[in-house]
Structure 1
């Protein structure tokens, strides 16, 4: 047999046979490899049929499953005590999938009014286009929540720690109301993470995340996740693959790396944020501080009941004097504390909700939600807390 051309040898050397050898090895990599393969090959048709039927383990196409995404889903499920997880290309993809898997035209959703701006936009403007009505109601008023639920209500939706007012809701009580009316209770746990709160243990049916934030934690990936019981995960997996917003293998590898240190990071984020909140609360250039860990917070008692070791996460908001002018000056005068339209990295950052995350709110809706033009949201990082405070103190002198 003639030797194959170099072009052919280059295409096929180190391919299937090497992969089989690695798979059968008695040693395994200490760190999970990145499986950058869009498709997987089979020796024959019966092998393919067996994988599709569930009679054999294997992978077909990475839009459905991939070893890298499987690995990070296993880590996420372990963190939250869930049966399973699904990982997405963004937090919005995860949230939208959690909704469309549970509603159809003619159905109704009840939501708390203070949400991440993208979710609010989706609820307010997109869902009605497809015949799904959304009612926004204050979840601190249980009677109002009960009154808002209709026979066609399918989903009750909220956030563990609201964005940007840092409100904490009584998740076990809301879960009871939702389940009494046959509704799925979906909770966005992005600001908290499993290292601060675990909504599934408090009655939530589905928990959603923007893994871009604390779960990733290093400002270097975009992603989302859904965690739930086996039945819900199986139901949502169809929409997961159908709409194709699956997380890529490299992002899954980055997320798996980050999750290894989540508990340590959230402990430090929480400790730092409390110190900064206490400083800001006493400063004359700050009108109000929103942080559930403060003794002055109306949510302090609830955090002791619901949150891990009293942690309240690294997010806080503050109303700066002189409104937009004061907020803009503070942003300008900070040096290492950068102005970014996101959160939850290792370094402290500032966001301006009225100009970024909640830009989709009308002025009337923003006012009703309690979001002012002088309100800044701080993502407190892992630096030494005294250094963060010193920089803020210097910047506030210019306000």
Structure 2
């Protein structure tokens, strides 16, 4: 089944019933009732290995349909829902955390992950080292106690590209699991488990939902690494609303159409940005000038709506802020992946790379508006800061 067809036909409940609704039903529940004690015990045992109703905090039928759909897309063994993408990333780290453990994290990881490391992991004795954003130095930084490699590709804000098959080959030679933040491709333009990755994390807040009205994270795991991923969330009280699961399911039915529209619009905006003398660098993986462009084109089925620009040395951060404030169709706001265009002045958080002499940077999310309007908006904003 093609991925486009999977989006439409998977995660829709039992399709063998004589009469059913198009969409899976929304099941809200905390308490689940059992006909007798033996049945209760049976389902408590079954839930160790299967998706079954046992208690609302462990998911309802609606949650399970979303887990099935994302597993089908990603080729995973099981999936677990979390209230936010950051919670999902935190759970991956916690699952491998122990005193004197060593983690390797790529430099382009989502910024708040650094805070998890500083506020919690380092306090319990986990040693953190950062890799280059493209993970090219992984072999020299692996230690005997390395328990996890967490990466992001394309990387956060500057979209650095990792050769995932190469990274996984090195990691697995040392029996180290590899996890990736796959939010950029959202389980659709890249399926990292096909390249050897063990754990894929997606912020469903972004493209899976697609409408900027849900926060959610999803962890998709292969069979080898599934252990404990269904236990820690329950112990720590992580749960996800079935209403949110329903909204993400609904959003995913149009994921292909939306992501390809975002990509088409981004392509057109990049073509325009290449004409602007105010810009020193355009960060967009489809550009031949983008580092590791050939790896991106080899492994990915497309790009999303994310573009970052670096202004020339003639412009200050204040100029960049003035530029962003002048925009009318690009709103200022955190997150991305919704239908709307966004612009944020930002400094990419990096530990290995020194960006202190670079920038200023503006990150765009290209929405679904008419690109003629977006280009006109960008033009007037650039003109407002002309030197």
In 1, the alpha carbon distance for the partners of 2:27 and 2:199 equals 28
2:29 is matched with: 37
Distance in structure 2 (CA, Å) of the matches to 1:305 and 1:207: 19
**Which residue of structure 1 lines up, in the alignment, with residue 9 of structure 2?**
none
Structure 1 residues 216 and 57 mapped into 2: Cα distance closer, same or farther (>3 Å)? Answer: closer
Match runs of 1:1-399 below 5 Å: 26-54=18-46, 58-140=52-134, 142=136, 144-308=137-301, 311-321=302-312, 322-354=315-347, 361=349, 365=351, 368-369=354-355, 372=358, 374-399=360-385
C-alpha distance after superposition, 1:338-371 (max 9, x if no partner): 01111111111112333xxx6xx5xx84972579
8 Å CA contact retained: 1:192, 1:313? yes
Cα distance in 1 between the residues matched to 2:56 and 2:285: 41
- Quick check: 2:132–2:352 contact (8 Å CA) kept in 1? no
Shift of 1:238: 0.6
What RMSD over aligned residues (CA atoms) do the two structures have, in Å?
2.2
Going from structure 1 to structure 2, the CA distance change for 1:200 and 1:141 (only over 3 Å counts) comes to closer
CA distance in structure 2 between the aligned counterparts of 1:112 and 1:369, rounded to whole angstroms = 16
Whole-angstrom distance in 1 between the partners of 2:269 and 2:51: 50
Structure number, greater radius of gyration: 1
Partners of 1:323 and 1:375 within 8 A in 2: no
**TM-aligned CA distance change 1:265 to 1:112, over 3 Å:** same
Q: How many residues align?
A: 366
Residue 8 of structure 1 corresponds to which residue in structure 2?
none
SS of alignment partner, residue 63 of structure 1: helix
Is the CA contact (8 Å cut-off) linking 2:104 and 2:128 kept in structure 1? yes
- Partner SS for 2:220: strand
Range that drifts further, 248-257 or 53-62:
53-62
Task: After superposing the two structures, state which structure 1 stretch, 222-231 or 149-158, moved more.
Answer: 222-231
SS at match of 2:218: strand
Q: Distance in 2 between matches of 1:307 and 1:260?
A: 20
Name the CA distance, whole Å, in 2 between partners of 1:365 and 1:231.
Answer: 31
TM-score by length of 2: 0.89
Gaps of 5+ in 1: 1-23
Q: Measured at CA, do residues 57 and 316 of structure 1 come closer, stay the same or move farther in structure 2, by a change above 3 Å?
A: closer
Q: Is the 8 A contact 1:51 1:57 kept in 2?
A: no
In structure 2, stretches of 5+ residues that fail to align are: 1-15
CA distance in 2, matches of 1:141, 1:130: 26
